[in-house]
Amino acid sequence: MRSPNFQNIDTSIRMEEIVTCSICMQVFDSLHLIPKMIECGHTFCSPCLTKLFQNNPSCPNCRAEIKGTESLLPINYNTLKVVDIYESKNWSESEMDTAAEVTKRKDMILKKKAQMTSSIEVFDKCLAKLEKLTVSESERIDTVNVKRILKEVDEDLKNNR
């Protein structure tokens, strides 16, 4: 039994085969690359069929002889319906990819913001300690105490990196 992911891939590949002209590999549309069905049941775009009638009027897939002209062949409306579904499916996937990218960037920025906020808190703490030293100049803090506070500040800054 296949997993759902493989089924989605197979379905997507199969759908691409249906909506694509097997000669030029372009996706059919209703204006220029119109899907037209030949007698054997295979479908190709109108520009490729025009060239085919000029060079070798046989089906590229099964080699059946093609009669008439490109303009007389029927449009494959079912293929056009599948093209519409395929394009709306791709649009939805594109929208999901865009939303995922926005979420990823937002998470990255929030993480950076949290890091910066943490850094600001450490800097504020260090400044408060250093401020205590400058305010206390009149009180003449002993050298050991000053060195201890400076060491704490250095440790706080080092741990913030």
pLDDT at 136: 55
What's the pLDDT band for 8 if we cut at 50, 70, 90?
low
DSSP 64-119: -B--S-GGGSPB-HHHHHHHHHHHHHHHHHHHHHHHHHHHHHHHHHHHHHHHHHHH
62 secondary structure, DSSP code: T
Residue 3 has pLDDT above 60, yes or no: no
- The structural domains of the chain, ordered by start, are 1-75 (3.30.40.10)
Average pLDDT of the chain, as a whole number: 81
Q: What's the whole-model pTM score? A: 0.52
What's the pLDDT band for 38 if we cut at 50, 70, 90?
very high
Per-residue pLDDT tens over the stretch 105-122: 877 887 788 788 888 888
pLDDT at 2: 44
What's the pLDDT band for 85 if we cut at 50, 70, 90?
confident
Structure token pair of residue 24: 């030029």
